[in-house]
Amino acid sequence: MSGELLSVKNLEVIYKSSGEMVQAVNGINFSLNKGETLGLVGETGAGKTTTALAVLRLLPERTGKILTGSISFDGKNLLELNDEEMRLKVRGKRIAMIFQDPMTALNPVMSVCDQIAEAIRYHSDKVDKNEIDKKVDHVLEMVGISPSRKHEYPHQFSGGMKQRVVIAIALSCEPDLLIADEPTTALDVTIQAQVLAMMGELRNRLGTAMVLITHDLGVVAQICDKVAVMYAGELIETGTLEDIFVEKEHHPYTMGLFGAIPNLGGESKRLHPIAGIMPDPTELPVGCNFQERCPHVMSICLDTNPEPYVNGTHSIACHLFTEKCNVGGDNYE
């Protein structure tokens, strides 16, 4: 179960539209071993989905562009494959994706069974109809849907069930890597708990590596092994689950994310949000991207972008740490 599966190095992605250039992803590095789960955390617009689309080479053709970097998957650089190889050998077969909104990810005029069979037919040598049928039944059972419902259409399923169908399609070819883009955000809390438990169980059984994109640190704590916090197109903090949830040293943004979550145990009434909003990705500031919202901003932050400060598996891109001074963990209750 060891060995590097995915390694993203110095990835930069831009979107160009009507003269404006959006710097969506600005030189990120991360890697993932076989069977591991990485939680990619950040606000809307931080570049999480763009990163996922870049890995799958699904960026919108006219506007999106990978400027530099390499994405190596199982030893091969995905950026060097041609479209045909990407479509037949990688996408859907070895790397599958679960999209955020199950309501729009499914084709409304195709039965559930046909949608799953399509993925299987496309990526395997199985041509025998019965065999494909059997496989469809198998994956449906795996995600907890009775195969007797397979001839129904997406509108006949509830949101949670639709998300299970999407997961069934993604897992139908037994991929090595599953990228799940906010798989439970559109679901109710009780259904979210069911779907997360199921995803965790399937991951353990099939040994699938997973990149889980989310803005909910609660989801990360439940299911991930590694965490990467993304802000304005950069990874500002990465580490193991313990580094992020137990260690005291954090990037001020990560502290802010924790502070903004309603605390169930405490009695305090007010929450501690991060002031302001994320900078406009068409004109990122010089220096650290978080400077405008940071409570500890220093003069160096205004002109130099911080290099990551690495402590074992834990890496923080903040001048507070490169200067070796500790903010401490008590600024946000």
Asked if residue 184 lies in contact with residue 159, where contact means CB atoms within 8 angstroms, the answer is: no
Q: How far is the CB of 265 from another protein (least distance, A)?
A: 9
Closer of 70 and 185 to another protein (Cβ)? 185
How many residues in the shown chain lie near another protein by CB under 8 A?
44
192, containing H or E segment = helix 189-206
- Among 21, 271, 286, 310, indicate the residue that binds another protein (CB under 8 A): 271
Q: Return the range that interacts with another protein (CB under 8 A); candidates 12-20, 119-127, 129-137, 155-163.
A: 155-163
- Give the total residue count for the chain: 333
Name the strand (E) or helix (H) holding 292. Answer: none
Q: Give the x-and-dash track for 273-312 against another protein (CB under 8 A).
A: xxx-x-----------------------------------
CB 308 within 8 A of CB 317: yes
**Cβ atoms 150, 136 nearer than 8 A:** yes
Query: Least CB distance from residue 26 to another protein, whole Å?
Result: 20
Tell me the closest approach of the beta carbon of residue 210 to another protein, in angstroms: 16
Least distance (Å) between residue 302 CB and another protein = 22
The interface region with another protein, picked from 16-24, 83-91, 132-140, 253-261 by CB under 8 A, is: 253-261
CA distance 226 to 136: 32
> Can you tell me whether residue 190 is helix, strand or coil?
helix
Q: Locate 296 and state its tokens.
A: 């500890």
Give, to the nearest 10 degrees, the angle between helix 129-142 and helix 159-171: 130
SS3 state of residue 21: strand
245 binding another protein? (CB under 8 A): yes
Pick between residue 9 and residue 215 the one whose CB is nearest to another protein.
215
Residue 17 sits in the site that holds another protein (CB under 8 A): no
Distance CA 253, CA 237 (A): 9
| Least distance (Å) between residue 230 CB and another protein | 12
Q: Which is nearer to another protein, 75 or 266 (CB)?
A: 266
- Residue 311, C-beta contacts closer than 8 angstroms, at least 6 positions apart: 249
**Strand pairing of 64-73 and 4-17?**
antiparallel
Residues 118, 133, 216, 247: which binds another protein (CB under 8 A)?
Answer: 216
Query: Smallest gap, in angstroms, from Cβ of residue 293 to another protein?
Result: 9
**Is residue 270 within the footprint of another protein (CB under 8 A)?**
yes
Contact call for residues 7 and 31 (beta carbons, < 8 A): yes
Q: Is 262 among the residues that bind another protein (CB under 8 A)?
A: yes
In 3D, which of 213, 105, 90, 84 has the Cα closest to residue 168? 105
Which tokens is 286 given?
């010089």
Residues between 19 and 48 that touch another protein (CB under 8 A): 43-44
Interface with another protein includes 132 (CB under 8 A)? no
Question: How near is the Cβ of 48 to another protein at its closest, in Å?
Answer: 12
In 132-208, beta strands by DSSP E: 177-181
Angstrom distance (rounded) from CA 33 to CA 49: 20
Binding site for another protein (CB under 8 A): 43-44, 158-161, 188-194, 196-197, 215-222, 241-242, 245-246, 256-262, 264, 267, 269-275, 277
